[in-house]
Amino acid sequence: MKGQKKPDERQYLCFMMLIHRGKFTLQRENSTHYAGFCILHAAPGHLAQQLSLLHPEERSYYDTLQFDKRRESYLLGRISAKKAIGALSAFEDLQKIAIEAGIFQFPVVKYSVTRNLQVSITHCDGLGIALSHPEVHPLGVDVERTDKANTEAIKEQLTANELALTLTVPLPQPIACTMIWTMKEALSKVLRTGLTMDLKLLEIQSLVKEGELYTSQFKHLIQYKAISCQAGAYVCSLVVPGKTTPDLEQFWQFFRETVSD
Ligand SMILES: CC(C)(COP(=O)(O)OP(=O)(O)OC[C@H]1O[C@@H](n2cnc3c(N)ncnc32)[C@H](O)[C@@H]1OP(=O)(O)O)[C@@H](O)C(=O)NCCC(=O)NCCS
């Protein structure tokens, strides 16, 4: 993890844990909305110091979890989501918010003072990323690490058109496949279904390099678009409404810094 430029937006809780948080604008033709974000990186076993951030309902659930991996991912998700809410709404007492799982496992923010905030969560290895957003303006996020076994599994799930698109961009194909996969997962989070559907419904139509980022339109869900960033083996995608222009410069900078050693 690299050097510090804006200490107000970063927190080194100890050298084993790094938290970036901030907010970004979601510019639309006739309105402006705001989203909060948190990118949290923690070495294994170092999240327990954040347990006090859990609401009693979350703590009860956490105590039922048997596997260390799930305990870790649960904490990564809940802590990053709360800090993303905190980045947007200084009035919130984060311990008093509970992020419940809805019937399809989507996160639901309960007891928030700023009642219309919702979150999108992703975790991978020791990395947790969350977005907080007003309910009127959906957002989704997904992060994955590219690896050989996953790439083969992903390739089997992509359409012929999507596979062809992976060859049109200046990325190694495993990265391009992972990128498309994260776009589809992030869209499935916006829809609150997860991947419990015919994955062709999530198909992307285009994949275009724009500067350091990649953008896609969806073939069926034309109301949305995806924006992706690759850093090393990691790929992160955000899905936003098609006519929204998000100011993601700081978010991507923090993402790159977090996953680069
Ligand atoms: C939802 C899904 C896209 C998540 O992607 P993933 O790469 O596995 O995991 P990520 O770390 O990126 O995201 C996990 C977070 O997504 C969120 N999430 C889960 N289901 C969701 C849904 N239906 N809608 C929106 N968000 C959802 C949760 O916040 C979850 O974190 P948490 O459980 O700690 O709260 C994927 O797991 C899925 O489609 N699951 C449905 C199918 C299923 O349940 N399979 C498992 C049994 S076969």
Assign residue 182 the CATH number of its domain.
3.90.470.20
Residues 43 and 102 both lie in one domain: yes
Residues 130 and 145 both lie in one domain: no
**Nearest-angstrom CA–CA distance, 20 and 222:** 31
Mean of all residue pLDDT scores within the chain:
93
Cα distances (angstroms) measured from residue 120 to each of 21, 91, 204, 208: 14, 20, 20, 24
pLDDT of residue 208: 98
Residues 149 and 192 both lie in one domain: yes
Residues 128 and 150 both lie in one domain: no
Length of the chain: 261
With a cut of 90, say whether residue 90 has pLDDT above it. no
Q: Which domain holds residue 71?
A: 1-137+247-261
With a cut of 90, say whether residue 255 has pLDDT above it. yes
Q: Kindly state the DSSP code that residue 204 receives in the 8-state scheme.
A: B
Q: How confident is the model at residue 15 (pLDDT cuts 50, 70, 90)?
A: low
Give 130 Cα–ligand 1 centroid separation in angstroms.
13
The structure's pTM equals 0.94
Residues 174 and 116 both lie in one domain: no
Q: Is there an atom of ligand 1 within 6 Å of 122 CB?
A: yes
Residues 18 and 130 both lie in one domain: yes
**Nearest-angstrom CA–CA distance, 2 and 117:** 31
Residues 46 and 85 both lie in one domain: yes
Q: How confident is the model at residue 114 (pLDDT cuts 50, 70, 90)?
A: confident
With a cut of 70, say whether residue 193 has pLDDT above it. yes
Q: Pinpoint the alpha helices (H) of 128-233.
A: 148-157, 160-166, 173-190
Tokens standing for residue 5: 């430029």
Average pLDDT over residues 93-105: 96
Q: How confident is the model at residue 113 (pLDDT cuts 50, 70, 90)?
A: confident
pLDDT of residue 33: 97
**Nearest-angstrom CA–CA distance, 87 and 220:** 33
Residues 79 and 130 both lie in one domain: yes
Give 104 Cα–ligand 1 centroid separation in angstroms.
9
For the chain, the domain total comes to 2
Average pLDDT over residues 205-233: 97
Residues 108 and 148 both lie in one domain: no
Q: Which of 74, 100, 105 to mutate to test the pocket of ligand 1 (most atoms within 8 A of CB)?
A: 105
Could you count the other beta carbons within 10 Å of the beta carbon of residue 120?
Answer: 26
